[in-house]
Amino acid sequence: MDKTHAYFHELKKADVHNHFHLGGSQKRFLEKYPNSDIIFPDKYDGLVGMIDFIYGHLNKSMLTSEDVINFMEISIESSIDDNITLLEASVDVNLARFFNNSLDEVIQQVKRIKEKYKAKIDFRPDIGINKDLPIDKVYEYGEQCINSGIFNGIDLYGKEADQNLVPFQELFKTAKRNNIKTKVHIGEFSDCKSIEETILMLNPDELQHGINAINSQKTMDLILERDIRLNICPQSNISLGTVKNIKAHPIKKLFDNGIKVTVNTDDLILFNATISDEFYNLYSNSIFSLNELEIIRNNAF
Ligand SMILES: [Zn+2]
């Protein structure tokens, strides 16, 4: 018998590619900010268009530390709404700018939120670092987060193509020494070569997106050889225009090549697709069978 959306909603799920303060549902956001005149588009003009929307529109509602805390709480509540029981979400260290440049205050808030919701969700924060951050700040903030003991992972993001990753090598080594899981955004906009270079340079445990690996058997072999998991967000790829539609998405081919994949939200507030929505889309468009979706759901735990 065909499964409904409710079937996927009821399943316990994990979200392992989530940018914490952008993880709230549009519904919860509008409930909290009823006077916002924001109109969320269905599509963004690539990464630049998305960043323009965040700075030009969304951030008009995120002006103070209190707003940042609201955005974080909306996010975790939205995850709970979708029966997410494990959440690995990256906390952008540059949010410290809303807290008088005190990263410690951000860390305290993350700790408080983790504690507040612990009966409902296992929230494991990742250290979120944008490659644009000055490198001295990257190390100062990175080490402060590692020393706090509350972070389980580190996630490096921002522009993908032609980036010099050498300055981040030592940080990734320090993270590994401290049993911090390492993730890098690559291969959503950038090519196979950039994926291979990133893997060789940073030796990450997981790739956020990595979907363009599909264009090279050699790249896929490297991913398989190192047992790297790909944390994929189909609707994000579609909204940003890197994939035309769900039927054209490479996730099935990556899965068929034996690569460990997961399905995630990325930024729920922007892309408006929960993991239940994603699972239902992949199922109702006959991309994956129920058994295959079970494998993918379990991959994330
Ligand atoms: Zn992402």
Active-site residue, selected from the candidate residues 188, 196, 206, 278: 188
Spell out the long-range contacts of 110-116 with Cβ–Cβ below 8 A and sequence spacing 24 or more. Answer: 110/72, 110/150, 111/148, 111/150, 113/69, 113/72, 113/73, 113/76, 114/150
Mean pLDDT confidence for 145-171: 95
Mean pLDDT confidence for 271-280: 98
208 Cα to the center of ligand 1, angstroms: 6
Mean pLDDT confidence for 1-26: 95
Structure tokens at 297: 């759901």
73 is catalytic: no
19 Cα to the center of ligand 1, angstroms: 6
18 Cα to the center of ligand 1, angstroms: 6
Mean pLDDT for the chain? 96
1 Cα to the center of ligand 1, angstroms: 34
pLDDT at 161: 86
pLDDT at 15 over 90: yes
Residue ranges of domains in the chain: 5-299
pLDDT at 163: 87
**pLDDT tens figures, 231-254:** 999 999 999 999 999 999 999 999
CA–CA distance, 23 with 272 (Å, rounded to integer): 9
Domain 5-299 has CATH 3.20.20.140: yes
118 Cα to the center of ligand 1, angstroms: 24
| Model pTM score | 0.96
Mean pLDDT confidence for 186-191: 95
Structure tokens at 180: 């911090």
pLDDT at 154 over 70: yes
2 Cα to the center of ligand 1, angstroms: 31
pLDDT at 33: 95
% of residues, the chain, pLDDT over 90: 96
pLDDT at 1 over 80: no
Indicate the pLDDT class of residue 3, thresholds 50, 70 and 90.
Answer: confident
% of residues, the chain, pLDDT over 70: 100
Measured in degrees and rounded to the nearest 5, phi and psi for residue 290 equal -60, -40
Mean pLDDT confidence for 8-30: 97
Q: SS3 string of 220-268? A: HHHHHHCCCEEEECHHHHHHCCCCCCHHHCCHHHHHHCCCCEEECCECH
**pLDDT tens figures, 74-133:** 999 999 999 999 999 999 999 999 999 999 999 999 999 999 999 999 999 999 999 999
Identify the weakest region by mean pLDDT among 33-37, 167-171, 215-219: 33-37
119 Cα to the center of ligand 1, angstroms: 26
pLDDT at 61: 92
Please report how many Cα atoms fall inside a 13 Å half-sphere around the Cα of residue 123, on the Cβ side.
Answer: 31
pLDDT at 29 over 70: yes
Structure tokens at 6: 């409710």
